[in-house]
Structure 1
């Protein structure tokens, strides 16, 4: 285990590409460069609030015991071998071209080589101004930082590709935020997350170079990305082969989000990882009541572009934007044909995933019809998604009537069922039980499959809100408990959280809807 302060950091990205080495933090356009040097702005006092022990062990990083190491986590210290920088990228935001964006409040310190030889970028979020901060301050508040820290790790333990989070620190300084962009700005405690990933490259990195017609730079970035992160891809057609793998990874990521009911909230192309990771945790949420039209992002209203049920189609749309950025390097027809494979990959993987959620031995065309019936009925009744599938695992193999079915799922319901809804649920469950009776695997094997596919604990927004309120009062008890609960999402060890969203949380700010600054 090595200390953060004594490590010799790699800086292969900045050594491979042209950058602005001036260190000037004045917001500006930076044509011709991939990044700009950006030293973190010191804060009053860095205090360690949370630390991901398992991730630290995997990376070979010793828990900070000296203030000099804690200071690195808050940007108050940069070692001699680090080269802090902010990346330059562009993006489509809510479907509209936004031009240059870049790391406005994220600063990469360097690349950490783990004991297994893998290299990880260490990045501070909320460490101050960069040339890409535009009109913002480059800071992050405790509220948003707790959310990113916990959810990054929660998604990892759910088995979903994601960036990770190593630490959460407070800065000792207040940060002014207008939480809902409604003119009611207020000071909140400042905080910084150190997040970790093999790479934070986004679709927007490639879009930026294409938009500026920097074809040589675009080719250099694509070649470097393939050789570093997709080394098995070679040959004359490698750009298309690589794009195909990005399409596949993105499709599978969308399936995983749908499996657990995760809603990203702001699927702009600058928030899409080139490695197929979940990246940039802002106004996200898990679905409570099953509503395909649910969006947790106030900025996404009223269009609901990034609603739960629309995420796969947005993933496809974003891949189309990436394909457009690659036009100078590959044949248009091949790019379009490769993009179109998204649909087959997604639906094949989706139905296989739903088969596991339902405990089916295989998924036939008739089973696809059953899955569609589940989607339609759940959207009508809107039970709690997580609890409904848990109750489905222990469903008796025979049910007598509508009342018996409704009683079995009572714990998942937010509202009393109408007579029509009772009938629809009973019909669905009757069809499902008929199908289970044809399973060629034992009931116990079917249930084991379901337990592995359906989380019992998800990190709900109201729990995060309560943990944040506690921290703001100096009480970290719930934060500590949630940090343990996220590690065992498929067990019943933390059944104190196995309940529907409480009524008070339905309309409370920070529990139901959030803004992009969240």
Structure 2
């Protein structure tokens, strides 16, 4: 029998002072049962999938027992939620078991989500029901396969206990893996308390963990701004809408985090919103870059006391860094969308050419994913009900491709590599959740397997690329908290 420790923990966040976190253990569940285990990720973390599948491993993934070396805690943070300030949030239903060094030498958090109440639960039960757990598992792993920085899903475990939301639902626990769980809101927690010592310790921790080339807090600010600009540009390139871009959901390491009412667009429109709680469209698709800049401005304000002893100089330096976000994002967006239309060289009119296509897509309610995928296959015209406008655009695009200086085969390969055939379409995710609540996990396993190859799907997965019929459309998504 394998007697090695289940996890080789090497914890660093737990070494920060007590005001950074609350130490507590997960709350055990009645009858843990493994739903899914991500074998590839387990091996990447230096873990043994067979151990994790054993009764002892499942007990750990459910929160029923603590593995050797764990130092469980709930992290403290604050945040702006839909623009409104909340001075204390924190992990209300998640507990960080500890950190491991993966096979690439990278530090990774291992966290249980839905593991019971914490001091930050704000009267909540600290649990998660099956639907949001499966949604985060599906979407976070799909994002990874799409090449977009993200938290990962190691495992999902059914608890054998009911969770009360609008109705009684089956409970589950997600094991989430991240480069850290440090957010803009973590900095805000200490800035609001004028705890400069804690801010400095947190900044040093983030620099050591995420940005070892940064030498100063101002360097840290610039690095976080750059990563966020590139991350949001990648979101835009796949039609992803986060849904709750609060500052407590903005990861300082540049990963996509906290998949609540997230969704991928079917028919393209820049004002698309799915989140049931985003009643005024604050986090609509096209507003995501603006919101990212707003979140980063809050981050910059936290760092001001660390940037320079002279407050005026510090504010000026921070403002200059934030002012640079627009250019960084525009460049990242152009890189993403140039590839989506097969270009590598740059011309001044490229942004206009791309925007013209997007405008035509919005007018025609063309499917975002399939329209771009079809460009590389030469069949885009069929995506438009009235293709006359597209025909005019296609002539200009063809001329631009000729000036790009590469052959048609190379350009098509660029487009295939930039435009997925498969995304986790909302109606498919809802089908999976409905089936799972009824006891059928086969659709979940089929969808996750297919989404692992979004750019080159197996032939039998092609049906998953179909947009929803009118009766299948999902118009609202929910947090599940």
TM-score interval for Structure 1 and Structure 2 normalised by the shorter chain? over 0.9
TM-score by length of 2: 0.95
Instruction: Give 1:467 shift.
Output: 1.1
In structure 2, the partner of 1:72 is 60
In structure 1, the partner of 2:71 is 83
In structure 2, the partner of 1:193 is 174
Q: C-alpha root-mean-square deviation of aligned residues, in Å? A: 1.7
Local SS of the residue matching 2:153: strand
User: Is 1:230–2:193 an aligned residue pair?
Assistant: no
In structure 2, the partner of 1:307 is 284
In structure 2, the partner of 1:402 is none
- Map of 1:126-137 to 2, 5 A cutoff? 126-137=114-125
Instruction: Give 1:3 shift.
Output: 7.8
Instruction: Give 1:502 shift.
Output: 2.1
In structure 2, the partner of 1:56 is 42
Instruction: Give 1:39 shift.
Output: 1.1
Distance in 2 between the 1:409 and 1:4 partners? 58
Distance in 2 between the 1:14 and 1:162 partners? 22
185-194 or 219-228, larger mean C-alpha shift: 219-228
- Map of 1:326-341 to 2, 5 A cutoff? 326-330=303-307, 331-341=314-324
User: Is 1:18–2:17 an aligned residue pair?
Assistant: yes
In structure 2, the partner of 1:370 is 353
2:330 aligns with one of 322, 335, 347: 347
Distance in 1 between the 2:183 and 2:344 partners? 37
Q: Which runs of 5 or more residues in structure 2 are unaligned?
A: 308-313
Local SS of the residue matching 1:109: strand
The answer to whether the Cα contact below 8 Å between 1:90 and 1:208 also exists between their aligned partners in 2 is yes
Distance in 1 between the 2:95 and 2:270 partners? 35
In structure 2, the partner of 1:180 is none
User: Is 1:251–2:251 an aligned residue pair?
Assistant: no
User: Is 1:436–2:401 an aligned residue pair?
Assistant: yes
Local SS of the residue matching 1:97: strand
146-155 or 426-435, larger mean C-alpha shift: 426-435
Q: Report how many aligned residue pairs link the two structures.
A: 471
User: Is 1:380–2:363 an aligned residue pair?
Assistant: yes
Distance in 2 between the 1:361 and 1:167 partners? 39
Distance in 1 between the 2:3 and 2:184 partners? 33
Local SS of the residue matching 2:366: coil
The answer to whether the Cα contact below 8 Å between 2:381 and 2:390 also exists between their aligned partners in 1 is no
The alpha-carbon distance between structure 1 residues 3 and 54, as it changes in their structure 2 partners (threshold 3 A), is: farther
Instruction: Give 1:429 shift.
Output: 2.1
Local SS of the residue matching 1:196: strand
The answer to whether the Cα contact below 8 Å between 2:7 and 2:47 also exists between their aligned partners in 1 is no
Instruction: Give 1:427 shift.
Output: 2.1
Local SS of the residue matching 1:316: helix
Local SS of the residue matching 2:176: strand
In structure 1, the partner of 2:110 is 122
Distance in 1 between the 2:26 and 2:55 partners? 17
Distance in 1 between the 2:411 and 2:144 partners? 24
- Map of 1:381-420 to 2, 5 A cutoff? 381-395=364-378, 409-410=381-382, 412=383, 417=385
Runs of 4+ displaced beyond 6 Å: 1-4
- Map of 1:110-509 to 2, 5 A cutoff? 110-177=98-165, 185-234=166-215, 238-301=216-279, 303-330=280-307, 331-395=314-378, 409-410=381-382, 412=383, 417=385, 421-493=386-458, 494-506=461-473
In structure 2, the partner of 1:513 is 476
Distance in 2 between the 1:227 and 1:335 partners? 21
Q: C-alpha deviations, 1:253-287, integer Å up to 9, x for none?
A: 01100111111000000000010000000000001
Instruction: Give 1:363 shift.
Output: 2.5
444-453 or 75-84, larger mean C-alpha shift: 75-84
The answer to whether the Cα contact below 8 Å between 1:126 and 1:192 also exists between their aligned partners in 2 is yes
The answer to whether the Cα contact below 8 Å between 2:435 and 2:441 also exists between their aligned partners in 1 is yes
The answer to whether the Cα contact below 8 Å between 1:2 and 1:60 also exists between their aligned partners in 2 is no
Distance in 2 between the 1:446 and 1:216 partners? 53
The answer to whether the Cα contact below 8 Å between 2:34 and 2:53 also exists between their aligned partners in 1 is no
Distance in 2 between the 1:289 and 1:2 partners? 51
Distance in 2 between the 1:359 and 1:286 partners? 22
Distance in 2 between the 1:332 and 1:2 partners? 56
TM-score by length of 1: 0.88
Distance in 1 between the 2:373 and 2:276 partners? 30
Distance in 1 between the 2:240 and 2:5 partners? 36
2:81 aligns with one of 68, 93, 102: 93
Local SS of the residue matching 2:337: helix
User: Is 1:105–2:93 an aligned residue pair?
Assistant: yes
Local SS of the residue matching 1:299: coil
Instruction: Give 1:352 shift.
Output: 1.9
Q: Which runs of 5 or more residues in structure 1 are unaligned?
A: 20-32, 178-184, 397-407
Local SS of the residue matching 1:92: strand
Distance in 1 between the 2:3 and 2:430 partners? 33
The answer to whether the Cα contact below 8 Å between 2:6 and 2:47 also exists between their aligned partners in 1 is no
Instruction: Give 1:80 shift.
Output: 4.3
Instruction: Give 1:243 shift.
Output: 0.6
Distance in 2 between the 1:3 and 1:157 partners? 33
Q: C-alpha deviations, 1:431-450, integer Å up to 9, x for none?
A: 22232233310000000000
Distance in 1 between the 2:434 and 2:107 partners? 36
